[in-house]
């Protein structure tokens, strides 16, 4: 009889492609995991794993069984969530994923409020790129993700939160006598200057390039950094310009520094921030509460001269 334990072991083996690492991830010995995989093959009367000197690969049938196993395990996790979530409030473990261009700017203000409103909640945070978050959401490794919309996956439901506009950041220069300092950004500035963006894989990069209509070879090969903090330092030292999400301004830009910020005329470029969860998740009501909390935090005025949205 096929067991959930065997399916979990196969899922881990599919992800790691290594018996030792899969066993470590499942907190069992390698012989125990190997024996369970062999029993699963015997129960299904299928060869699932091709063992090689260089490692292992799943057979074509093994890949299909692993895909179905992930779906089954996600449904089991949803069943457990349903049983735990009958009180209708955020409690227990919540596995939240967030992209790097949102997590450090929104969550520091949201986490204290989350703890105050839902003290029984045990939040577990995972910060990585959108592609990874969506995959881990669908497989049940994450409960809900905080991302930039849209997300194109038939198994995922999304909930719009708010708009985050882009601000043009340039190196601050001394004003020329008799000449007014530029007060707004223009399209010409984007084509005339080197555009500094996050490295490939970050959705913020794709959104910026989409707005700038700069999907050229030169733009794709331009400087890419792993963090907005690095890009801000590059701009401050005259290496180019960048588009910063407004939510990052108060954290990355310091008053009296070497950065000059320019807003675009309406309609301003923007990204849509939202939550996403599996359509099969029974915790939708809880996620909507979480969404409302995030919107409340964003609308709340910031102290010491901060910006109000």
What are the Cα distances from residue 147, in Å, to 18, 37, 203, 207, 277? 31, 36, 9, 13, 11
Pairwise CA distance, residues 294 & 292, whole Å: 5
CA angle 69, 71, 75 (to 5 degrees): 115
Per-residue pLDDT at 271: 92
Pairwise CA distance, residues 309 & 304, whole Å: 15
Q: Which residue has the higher pLDDT, 296 or 206?
A: 296
208, pLDDT greater than 80: no
Q: Which CATH number fits domain 90-309: 3.30.1360.30, 3.40.190.290, 3.40.50.300, 3.30.365.10?
A: 3.40.190.290
- Confidence (pTM): 0.72
Mean pLDDT of 172-177: 61
CA angle 197, 201, 215 (to 5 degrees): 55
Mean pLDDT of 223-241: 85
- Distance, C-alpha 1 to centroid of its chain: 38
Closest CA to 95 of 277, 296, 291: 277
Which segment of 65-69, 253-257, 279-283, 293-297 scores lowest on mean pLDDT?
A: 253-257
Please determine, looking at this structure, whether the domain spanning 4-83 carries the CATH number 1.10.10.10. yes
Contact in structure between 299 and 275 (CB atoms under 8 Å): no
CB neighbour list of residue 199: distance below 8 Å, 6 or more residues apart: 205, 224, 225, 226
Read off the tokens for 94: 């919540």
Ranges of CATH 3.40.190.290 domains, the chain: 90-309
Residue 104 burial (10 A CB sphere; 0-12, 13-18, 19+): middle
Ranges of CATH 1.10.10.10 domains, the chain: 4-83
């Amino acid at each position: 009889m096929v067991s959930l334990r065997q399916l979990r072991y196969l899922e881990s083996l599919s992800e790691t492609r290594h018996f030792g690492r899969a066993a470590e991830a499942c907190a069992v010995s390698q012989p125990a995991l190997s024996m369970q995989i062999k029993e699963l093959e015997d129960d299904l009367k299928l060869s699932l794993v091709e063992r090689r000197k260089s490692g292992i690969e799943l057979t074509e049938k093994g890949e299909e069984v692993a895909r179905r196993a992930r779906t089954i395990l996600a449904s089991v996790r949803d069943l457990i969530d349903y049983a735990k979530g009958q009180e209708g409030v955020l409690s227990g473990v919540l596995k939240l994923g967030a992209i790097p261009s949102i997590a450090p700017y929104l969550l520091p203000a949201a986490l204290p409020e989350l703890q105050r409103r839902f003290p029984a909640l045990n939040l577990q945070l995972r910060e990585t790129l959108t592609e990874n978050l969506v995959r881990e959401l669908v497989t049940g490794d994450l409960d809900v993700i905080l991302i930039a919309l849209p997300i194109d996956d038939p198994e995922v439901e999304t909930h719009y939160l708010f708009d985050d506009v882009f601000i043009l950041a340039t190196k601050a220069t001394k004003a020329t006598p008799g000449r007014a300092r530029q007060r707004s950004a223009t399209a010409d500035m984007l084509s005339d200057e080197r555009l500094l963006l996050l490295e490939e894989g970050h959705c913020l990069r794709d959104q910026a390039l989409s707005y700038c209509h700069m999907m050229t070879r030169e733009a794709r090969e331009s400087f890419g950094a792993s963090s907005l903090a690095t890009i801000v330092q590059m701009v401050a030292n005259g290496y180019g310009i960048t588009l910063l999400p407004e939510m990052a301004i108060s954290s990355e830009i310091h008053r009296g520094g070497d950065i000059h910020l320019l807003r675009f005329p309406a309609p301003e470029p923007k990204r849509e921030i939202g939550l996403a969860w599996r359509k099969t998740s029974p915790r939708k009501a809880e996620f909507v509460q979480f969404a409302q909390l995030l919107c409340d935090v964003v609308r709340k005025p910031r102290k010491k001269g901060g910006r109000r949205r």
